[in-house]
Amino acid sequence: MSKNSRKVKIAVIGGSGFEKFFDGIRQMRVGTPYGFPPPLILSRIGEKDIVFLPRHGLNHSTPPHRVNYRANIHGLHSIGVERIIAINAVGAINPNFKPGDLVMPHDFADFTKLRPATFHDEAPVKHIDVTQPYCPEIRRLMSKISKDNGIPLWDTAILVCTEGPRFETAAEIEMFRRLGFDIVGMSGVPEVVLARELGICYASLCFVTNMAAGMQERLTPSEVVEISKQVTPKVRQILIDTIVALPLERTGKCPCASAPEYAGFK
Ligand code: HPA
* 47 and 85 Cβ atoms separated by less than 8 Å: no
The answer to whether residue 260 scores a pLDDT higher than 60 is yes
pLDDT band of residue 3 (cuts 50, 70, 90) is very low
> Which of 168, 204, 225 is the pocket-test mutation for ligand 1 (most atoms within 8 Å of CB)?
168
With a CB cutoff of 8 Å and minimum separation 6, the contacts of 50 are: 8, 10, 11, 12, 22, 42, 43, 44, 243
Does the beta carbon of 209 lie inside 6 Å of ligand 1? yes
239 φ, ψ to 5°? Answer: -60, -50
Between 154 and 217, the more confident residue is 154
Q: Once rounded to an integer, what is the mean pLDDT over residues 13-23?
A: 72
Domains of the chain, earliest start first: 10-262 (3.40.50.1580)
Query: Rg (Cα) of the chain, in Å, rounded?
Result: 17
How many residues comprise the chain? 266
Ligand 1 pocket, residue 91 CB under 6 Å: yes
The conformational region for residue 145 under phi > 0 = left, psi -120 to 50 = alpha, else beta, is alpha
More confident residue, 229 or 70: 70
For a mutational test of ligand 1's pocket, the pick from 16, 97, 167, i.e. the residue with the most ligand atoms closer than 8 A to its C-beta, is 167
12-21, 83-92, 154-163: range with lowest mean pLDDT = 12-21
- Given this model, what pLDDT does residue 2 score? 41
DSSP state of 187: S
- Nearest in space to 24 (alpha carbons), one of 67, 58, 64: 58
Residue 40 CB–ligand 1 contact under 6 Å: no
Between the CA of 258 and the centroid of ligand 1 the distance, in Å, is: 32
Nearest residue (by CA) to ligand 1, atom 10, is 90
Q: What is the largest CA-CA distance in the chain?
A: 54
| Structure confidence at residue 177 (pLDDT) | 98
